[in-house]
Amino acid sequence: MSDPYAPTADDRFTFGLWTVGNPGADPFGRPTRKPMEPVHVLRKLAEAGAWGVNFHDEDLVPFGASPGEREEIIGRFKAGLEETGLVVSMSTTNLFSHPAFKDGAFTADDPAVRALAVTKAMDAIDLGASLGSHIHVFWGGREGCETDARRDPRQAIKRMRSAMDFLCDYVLEREHEMVFALEAKPNEPRGDIYFSTTGHLLHFITTLEHPEMVGVNPEVAHETMAGLSFVHSVAQAMEAGKLFHIDLNAQNIGRFDQDLRFGAADLKGAFNLVRLLEGTMGGFAYHGPRHFDAHAYRTEDEEGVWEFARGCMRTYKILAERARAFDTDPEVIGLRQEFQEDFVSPLLIDYSPEAEAALREMAIDPDALGARGLHLEKLDQIMTEYLLGVRD
């Protein structure tokens, strides 16, 4: 029998060149793995069953490459895409590595830095578009500070807004079919990063000139670093029609940005996330790329990297299968349906004196409501047993 967990193109699994290509350096130690050629990454990703690939401008074309080198690199990469059938599902701009961006890119106080950042972003957008990307991510890793002594954070917000407005107009002018997905993180590498959570970004987007062109790219690790429920952040983004992209990985609360293999921590959180994305929980599913923004442990050699990549996809598919089983279990359906007879929502659509009167007339006994058991212990235990594989 064929492996039911083998990834297919329909799963839309993607990896960044910087994820599987991560050489294992950390602030205290040098790389433990050799850099990988982008075309080699394409071949190995295709072999593992991924659907797409993502990159920062600099993952592909090193900063400062000559026009000739640039053309040669892009040509080779294009040939690699054709050979493997992988799509470019997302592109992004590296606005954090170069020392020029040490105090921010779009939000920097120095106007020359802001000009450089916007120009670099336009070039990265063009590069992505030329290779088929329809989503451009902005992760403002350096958009923050260690001290608020100089920059008024309101100024930073305004600068970010004008950069986004400018770049949306640029995309429209160039007639690229492209949207933006903004990615939040509370800290690291800056002491504090502006727009620290997905919720902050969801509001910010409503203040843009082209809010329809801009959504979010929540990352498991980043929301978890803030001590928040990733599932709830993603749900809010979906409900707002703003989940344009997602960065899947794993993270323990209170740690540095771990970017662990999907499912390597908080399996229950991952399970509920997959229920949400796959729509087994109810409501609509997410149809965008399922991107693993994670990397292999620093202890691994290249074989370990591909083990890691296969693990991300396999765990997602196992969780999706478990999610379908859980959400179609008659006992689960019964327990979840307890409040199906909803006699209040229709009254709450619009205020009217009649609706008010109807609400006031209901003979509701608060003590009876308070005393009743809600069977969530039972439901949660069933969920645990599905996750542990002892219930089908």
| Among 10, 26, 40, 56, the one annotated catalytic | 56
| Partner whose binding site includes residue 44, from ligand GLT, Mn ion, none (CB under 5 to 8 Å by kind) | none
Residue selected from 84, 89, 92, 196 as contacting ligand GLT according to rule CB under 6 A: 92
How is residue 110 written in tokens? 């120095």
- Measured between alpha carbons, how far is 31 from 299 in angstroms, rounded to an integer? 10
| Site map 334..373 versus ligand GLT, x via CB under 6 A | ----------------------------------------
Length of the chain: 392
Amino acid at the residue 73 = I
User: Which of 49, 50, 72 has its CA nearest to residue 61?
Assistant: 72
**Residue 223 in contact with Mn ion, rule: CB under 5 A:** no
Please list, in sequence order, all residues whose beta carbon lies within 8 angstroms of the beta carbon of residue 4, skipping any fewer than 6 positions away: 317, 321
Residues 230-289 that bind Mn ion (CB under 5 A): 247, 257, 259
Residue selected from 60, 137, 265, 305 as contacting ligand GLT according to rule CB under 6 A: 137
Q: Catalytic residue at 56?
A: yes
128 exposure class (CB count in 10 Å sphere: 0-12, 13-18, 19+): buried
| Partner whose binding site includes residue 143, from ligand GLT, Mn ion, none (CB under 5 to 8 Å by kind) | none
- Measured between alpha carbons, how far is 15 from 31 in angstroms, rounded to an integer? 20
**Residue 18 in contact with ligand GLT, rule: CB under 6 A:** yes
**Residue 143 in contact with Mn ion, rule: CB under 5 A:** no
| Among 57, 59, 247, 266, the one annotated catalytic | 59
Residue selected from 58, 183, 223, 266 as contacting ligand GLT according to rule CB under 6 A: 183
User: Which of 228, 227, 264 has its CA nearest to residue 248?
Assistant: 264
Q: Catalytic residue at 176?
A: no
**Residue 293 in contact with ligand GLT, rule: CB under 6 A:** yes
Half-sphere exposure of 6 (CA within 13 A, CB side): 8
Total binding residues for Mn ion by CB under 5 A?
Answer: 6
Half-sphere exposure of 307 (CA within 13 A, CB side): 8
Residues 195-254 that bind ligand GLT (CB under 6 A): 219, 247
3-state SS class at 137? strand
| Partner whose binding site includes residue 137, from Mn ion, ligand GLT, none (CB under 5 to 8 Å by kind) | ligand GLT
- Measured between alpha carbons, how far is 320 from 322 in angstroms, rounded to an integer? 5
What is the nearest approach in angstroms of Mn ion to the Cβ of residue 42? 20
Task: Give φ, ψ of 87 to 5 degrees.
Answer: -105, 155
Distances (CA, A) of 198 to 122, 203, 244: 24, 9, 12
CB nearer to ligand GLT: pick between 266 and 293: 293
Q: Supply the residues annotated as catalytic.
A: 56, 59
Residues engaged in binding Mn ion (CB under 5 A): 219, 221, 247, 257, 259, 293
Residues engaged in binding ligand GLT (CB under 6 A): 18, 56, 92, 137, 139, 183, 219, 247, 293
